[in-house]
Amino acid sequence: MAQKTIAGVNLEVTEDGYLEDSTQWNEEIAKEIAKEEGIELTDKHFEVINFIRENADAGLTIRKVGKSGIVDIKGFYELFPGGPLKIASKIAGIKKPTSCV
Amino acid sequence: MAEKKDTQVKKVAIICAKASLEDVYASLVLANGAVMEGMEAKIFFTFFGLDAITKKHMKKLHTASVGNPGMRMPGGLPFPTLLGALPGVEAGVSAMMRKQMDDIDVPPVDEFLDMITAGGGEIYACKLAVDMFKLKKEDLSDHVIDIITIGDFYAMAGGEGSQIIFT
């Protein structure tokens, strides 16, 4: 566990940079984590991020995001290139996903 | 002690040569898992593995109910070989497997191919096997990029951090 200041807030993060406490999350924090991942967040990104936050405890998979009606799987990969479920979860301030699909 | 430095896996080239549900799923999970992690993934379907990308067969893959030591009855008792040989048992067992996988969000084969290719994964068919089974490009899933030789596949499997996996 480590301390990290993101968007002016002192946060506990895991070794991989996931927030320990998702209730500390806000949109400014999301934008800053996204910037580290090389992503400029748009409204579409936030729609996906909100879906991910709402379903954080439901065993998220890429397939579920693809069926969310917000974005298809191809679009999800385009929004968060290089590992969409992991990167989107990190930006959404939830735990690292444990799904294999 | 010298610091351990691993080269990260950046690309997987997967060869799927069998048609049973579990062997095909092994390849698909490996490929999908790779693209999910931002890695490159290519699958080469050959011999009976071609069933997984043949329109006629891809939705009806079976798991063997005879000669499969991993097979158990619901509850954990061994699955009698003679029972597995009865007509319809293998189809029933396979349908049950597919249902169980769907429950944990593992999609059917065609949808799995959609997912893998949506993430940039590439699907190829083996020319030798396609010729042997007298198939044509149109018999295969639309996700198949091309029918190629194993030599062609090796040619695109190289590079630092790349791995060839046979399932």
Residue of A nearest to B34 (CA): A83
Q: Which residues contact B140 (CB under 8 A, 6 or more apart)?
A: B50, B53, B54, B55, B125, B130, B147
Under the banding of pLDDT at 50, 70 and 90, the label for residue A2 is confident
Which pLDDT tens digit goes with each residue over A14-57? 999 999 999 999 999 999 999 999 999 999 999 999 999 999 98
Helices (H) and strands (E) in chain A, counts: 5, 2
Is the confidence at residue A83, as pLDDT, over 90?
Answer: yes
Average pLDDT over residues B5-33: 95
Residue A63: list chain B partners with CB under 8 A. 105, 107, 111, 115
Is residue B45 scored above 80 in pLDDT?
A: yes
Closest CB to B32: pick one of A64, A83, A101. Answer: A101
Among residues A16, A38, A58, A100, the one annotated as catalytic is: A100
Give the rounded percent of residues in chain B with a pLDDT score beyond 70.
99
B79's enclosing H/E stretch is: none
* Helix (H) / strand (E) containing B11: strand B11-16
Q: Is residue A96 part of a domain?
A: no
The amino acid at B155: A
pLDDT at residue A65, rounded to an integer:
96
Determine how many CB atoms are found less than 10 A away from the CB of residue A42. 10
Mean pLDDT of B85-99: 92
For residue A98, tell me if it sits in a domain. Answer: no
Smallest Cα distance from B128 to chain A, Å:
31
The stretch B22-38 carries a mean pLDDT of 96
Answer yes or no: is pLDDT of A82 > 80.
yes
Domain assignment present for residue A64? The answer is: yes
Closest CA to A77 of A69, A68, A13, A86: A86
Tell me, what's the pLDDT at B161? Answer: 95
Instruction: Give the distance from CA A75 to its chain's centroid.
Output: 15
pLDDT of A76 above 70: yes
Asked whether residue A100 is assigned to any structural domain, the reply reads: no
ipTM: 0.90
Q: And the tokens for B125?
A: 């068919």
Question: With bands split at pLDDT 50, 70 and 90, how would you rate the model's confidence at B2?
Answer: low
pLDDT digits over B140-156, tens only?
A: 999 999 999 999 999 99
Is there a contact between A75 and A67 (Cβ–Cβ < 8 Å)?
A: no
Positive/negative CA dihedral, A36, A40, A46, A47: negative
For domain B7-56+114-167, say whether CATH 3.90.1520.10 is its number: no
Number of domains into which chain A is organized: 1
Residue A42, domain extent: 2-91
**What residue spans define the domains of chain B?**
7-56+114-167, 60-107
Cα gap A45→A19, rounded to integer Å: 18
The predicted pLDDT at position B1 comes to 56
Distance between CA atoms of residues A22 and B93, nearest Å: 42
Catalytic site residue A100? Answer: yes
Residues 6+ apart with CB under 8 A from B31: B12, B14, B41, B42, B43, B116, B121
Cross-chain residue pair B38–A66, CB shorter than 8 Å:
no
In chain B, what's the furthest Cα-to-Cα distance? 61
Q: Which of B105, B106, B119 sits opposite A73 (nearest CB)?
A: B119
pLDDT above 90 (res B73): no
Residue A76 in any domain: the answer is yes
pLDDT tier for residue B5 given thresholds of 50, 70 and 90: confident
Confidence of residue B86 (pLDDT cuts 50, 70, 90): very high
**Mean pLDDT over residues A60-65, rounded?**
94
Interval B128-139: pLDDT, tens: 999 999 999 999
Stronger pLDDT, B4 or A59, i.e. the higher one: A59
**CA atoms of A70 and B100, how far apart (whole Å):** 27
Task: Note the pLDDT of residue B71.
Answer: 87
Q: Check A81 against B38: CB less than 8 A apart.
A: yes
Cross-chain CB nearest to A101 (options B29, B37, B38): B29
